[in-house]
Structure 1
């Protein structure tokens, strides 16, 4: 058997290094809960604070109870990395949950991102249970709030709204839920999708009735750079709720969360549409040249992929081909050279027969 060539050894070494790098990569935080008390990882991975508790046989979590000034918090205990790399770049994330709010004008429900220094066990009965923790510390909290009371002081002219809170409880953007024919506090179960795209630095919120599909268009779309909010790279995610001066209850039925690292080629500032519009001029020649360059790049890339695939196929054939078993042939079936004897034959023709033939 021939010894492997240098290129074969280098290829094998590269594949081994790639395999171990994939194994040693930091796992991406993700989870999906459709039942709470019944999930084996619930007690080890999740924490309940204040009045929050598992109800209905483990099918849901009640955050705020049917009493005045009740408050509760439901948090994923494992830290989530939201910033990575040098320079610092935020990480994309997506979360989905279903919830309901009973009739009344309580303190509301909020999906919140807490920095590591936030006192998770400190709650009060108003403003989603977050106001006391924000007043006692200078920690910045990011939240998407679902609120029902009107608050002219904070600019909430409509009580049926969803807002985005950055560092304080005054929303930077607010949308009226009535515009999509939904009511937050009628006890009906609702779906919510929250997506943050780090590449475009944009937050999107979608809302629908339970059982309906995910809406194509977001209910809220807001530009924000979460990498500028905190000094640390890891945070905690969860829900916070309070009943205020009412007996409103907030219940969570399911929750899933996942982060997505952004490719390095996407780590750039988003384009300003106004600047782009001002700089737009006819560039026919440049567009044709760019098109040709793209075609050429695609051809080079395709050729490279084909060559790499052929090399891998030949490499595998060489490895597995040399391992085929050799079947011994019995001696009696071995082909040997055979000698043939040639003799000279003389033919004599009788003249009488030859004359008679004439």
Structure 2
């Protein structure tokens, strides 16, 4: 009997621990040197303030923590408790009313494609507003009322929403005085810093929202407390972030600090060290003293201005802006990039690709590390066409892609600014290890899963279909956490979902080109899958796709793996440097999946969505032994065969320099540009 009671007591003690979800937290005391994902016109001010929008009309700004939140409790399959705390400021022009507001969001991806501004706050649009398939939870901070009412009026309220702009509940922006329990109003757009807390209890399914001025501690009584079950709203992959928008009225929306935690209170912020939102004022022209001072100094200053202008025109980094550049967001000034790369100094050179040189840079505005690709062209029209394409691709945002931060033109040079990735390219880690470091199987498996997720986003999850057309190990970059990120979109093409690609030029890299490209020249998502299959074999075996040995001809990696499979020794194809430290089932699955993805017949290849199911273990890879054994050595396409024939001597030099932004080897075919 005593033993029975003891077991009951132990169960009561440890049960809460067993059902608790994994821990997850982050904190930003200002946003300098952060890797936060930004979209739209969102920028980080030099003082560290995250500026979601400026006072331009009809603009949108987004910002997200880069890693997804494990929001579901693995035991109960319900949304776990979470708490977030942030400090914000909304600044309108002095003596004017601004708009429209911002929202804290939990969403299935770090972005809201197709979203509109004004009352939609950059989260949804008129066609998907309120759809259950949005899977969005948001707490909005409104400064303009009138959604679906036809007339805009002044607003100063906070609301809780699911999947759209209709409030579950809302309250005027007030806070409770802890001493008297009376409410006091808070003006959301008075430029002062304001604290906000959003707490969700996963057990009772209650959302609490609390605000207070910067110098007032968190009120005991929340402004809003409402029963909301978030389990049917959110998805397992959930990103936390902010969205702000303007319309015909505009304000600057700032996030000054932010913390978040699962299963506990969000960390406090260091309020003394947080940045402050600057005022927005109109310079007055009525000050007579200022007029007299300007007139008195004009004659002496004008000569200096003319001289400075002449010198500036002669400076190397001088730039003339054209109409197409002014219309493109994410544009950097040349002088900032020139300073960031120390004048494009050779010591900052980190690689040379097919379209130009790549330099490491540190932005003088916020200290962030970036990679700057300098593309030279003799055709100004070609630069304009390339810029139009980049303007679309620049909106791609995924944790397993090298994100394009922006660009700039100086004369005939187009400068592309990318995320800086410190660990170089995958091929450099596979073939040119530093200090005898060998990628573990766990690291390799994580990298190829990440690249598969990035390709799935390009093929199916973005607003248009994007064909990369140059998937290869040298275009896979490894970040500081050893995650794979696909880069170099110089050959990419995009088209609308439900339509066919009209690309008819053969481009890519020898060894990764699908056989049907040599016959039709038509790239598709299936040709990307083929190259990904070659990449799988490459990562598992530690060998390049094709090796040419004088006297032996072309040694094709896929043929060798098939030979091992036919002999019943497929594990002989595994990289010997792993010293047999790997999961047998995973390695065999990757090798077989690589063969299926790189099948000569496109109809036999899976989609990237099917590939993700195999990699995640949601589905078992079917047995393709008989089908794969019939392939033989017919994988060397016509282009590869002719290439190897022409360059059978040592006349080709393939660079192995490690890059921090997508690299195109000298074996790439660029006839399609």
TM-score (norm 1): 0.59
Out of 128, 138, 142, the position equivalent to 1:135 is: 128
Equivalent in the alignment of 1:48: 38
Structure-2 separation of matches of 1:115 and 1:128: 17
Equivalent in the alignment of 2:117: 125
Equivalent in the alignment of 1:301: none
Q: Does residue 1:235 correspond to 2:224, yes or no?
A: no
Is the 8 Å Cα contact of residues 64 and 250 (structure 1) preserved in structure 2?
yes
Q: Does residue 1:36 correspond to 2:31, yes or no?
A: yes
Matches within 5 A, 1:171-320: 171-177=167-173, 180-230=184-234, 232-260=235-263
More strand as a share of residues = 1
Out of 85, 88, 92, the position equivalent to 1:99 is: 88
Which structure's relative contact order is higher, taking Cα pairs within 8 Å and 6+ residues apart? Answer: 1
Note the aligned Cα RMSD (angstroms).
Answer: 2.9
Structure-1 separation of matches of 2:126 and 2:62: 12
Structure 2: gaps spanning 5 or more residues: 1-17, 175-182, 265-673
Structure-1 separation of matches of 2:231 and 2:127: 20
Is the 8 Å Cα contact of residues 112 and 123 (structure 2) preserved in structure 1?
no
How far did 1:234 drift? 2.5
Structure-2 separation of matches of 1:132 and 1:152: 12
> Computing the radius of gyration over CA atoms, which structure comes out larger, 1 or 2?
1
Structure-1 separation of matches of 2:237 and 2:156: 32
Query: Relative to structure 1, is the Cα distance of residues 222 and 111 closer, same or farther in structure 2, using a 3 angstrom cutoff?
Result: same
Query: Relative to structure 1, is the Cα distance of residues 154 and 175 closer, same or farther in structure 2, using a 3 angstrom cutoff?
Result: farther
Equivalent in the alignment of 1:114: 107
Equivalent in the alignment of 1:62: 51
TM-score (norm 2): 0.32
Q: Does residue 1:167 correspond to 2:156, yes or no?
A: no
Query: Relative to structure 1, is the Cα distance of residues 26 and 95 closer, same or farther in structure 2, using a 3 angstrom cutoff?
Result: closer
Structure 2 counterpart SS, 1:89:
coil
How far did 1:221 drift? 0.4
Structure-1 separation of matches of 2:204 and 2:155: 31
Query: Relative to structure 1, is the Cα distance of residues 134 and 236 closer, same or farther in structure 2, using a 3 angstrom cutoff?
Result: farther
Q: How many residues align?
A: 232
Out of 141, 144, 165, the position equivalent to 1:146 is: 141
Deviations 1:244-286 (A, max 9, x none): 112311001000000118xxxxxxxxxxxxxxxxxxxxxxxxx
Deviations 1:284-321 (A, max 9, x none): xxxxxxxxxxxxxxxxxxxxxxxxxxxxxxxxxxxxxx
Is the 8 Å Cα contact of residues 201 and 224 (structure 1) preserved in structure 2?
yes
Deviations 1:178-222 (A, max 9, x none): 553211111111000110011111000110001210110000101
Query: Relative to structure 1, is the Cα distance of residues 205 and 151 closer, same or farther in structure 2, using a 3 angstrom cutoff?
Result: same
